[in-house]
Amino acid sequence: MASKFFAVFDDIAVLMDDVATMSKYATQKTAGILADDLAVNAEKASGFSASRELIVLWRIAKGSLLNKIIILPAAFLLSAFLPGVIIPILLLGGLYLAYEGVEKVYTYLFHRESKEKKKQLLQNDEQAASYENEKVKSAIVVDFILSVEIIIIALSTVADQPLNIQIPVVTVVALLATVGVYGLVALIVRMDNLGLNLIASSENKSSFKAKLGRGLVKLLPWVVRSLTVLGTLAMILVGGGIYAHNVDFIHNLLRTWPTLLADFLVGLCLGALAVVVMKLYESIKKNFAKAT
């Protein structure tokens, strides 16, 4: 009886070892998407007052966790019963990411002033809550698409494994994508507070602690701007990469091109096409409303 009891523990130990090994491999395969996820979410969580930053980040993180709860069982069921629909879902998500990225570039180039004025108005008004809700909703939608990509890639690394390996491995990667990414984002957006605390706790202004604090405060705006650019590029690259790696025609056409360049050009073209279609739709809708 005792031998059977310890045999169960031995089986569990072997299973956990297999899960740990496969989780490490799956995490390595999704590292690029996780980095993109970090850049995108840091950009989405920035731009708020200091008192709202962590609150907004917590709202996005909760939405991200809910996304994983929805996506994980759906991914396992689709993989088992309808594997043919996974690629079309990825392609739709890729198109949305490319659109989001290019639309940001378009707004920056042609409507930068109007967007800044709108943002300023909202932050000086009671409508600030509406602006915050809009950004949180956008962040959760983008997180959903990136989460689908992360989970599908993680699932593909253990596709030949039994279900008792697939479920814990993909779940570990999904949780890492939430806890790890949003933990790092929280550290980034609170960098200035850490700097101010270091300055306040230092004995004199010339001490290393005070210099480090001032450096962190000065560095934060540059980090946020850099992450904004990286987040936009990440959306275009991930969106283009989904098409470049899953559409045979595009893959064969750009097979000899450097991967980053190919992904970026595909994402840029897809996003530009989506932006044009959306602008035409908005124009037609506007003109129709005026006519009626």
Distance separating alpha carbons of residues 108 and 146, to the nearest angstrom: 23
CA distance 215 to 79: 49
Q: How many angstroms separate the CA atoms of 54 and 76, rounded?
A: 33
What is the number of structural domains in the chain?
1
The C-alpha atoms of residue 124 and residue 174 are separated, in whole angstroms, by 38
Q: Which residue has the tokens 């790092």?
A: 184
Q: What is the pLDDT of residue 289?
A: 80
**Tell me: the pLDDT tens digits for 1-16?**
444 433 433 333 443 4
Residue 127: strand, helix, or coil: coil
Host domain of residue 236: 2-291
In the numeric block, the tokens 């390595």 are attached to 28
**pLDDT tens, residue by residue, 61-83:** 899 899 999 999 988 888 888 88
Buried (b) or exposed (e) across 64-75, using 16+ Cβ within 10 A?
Answer: bbebbeebbeeb
Which stretches of the chain score pLDDT less than 70?
Answer: 1-51, 112-128
pLDDT, residue 4, reads: 44
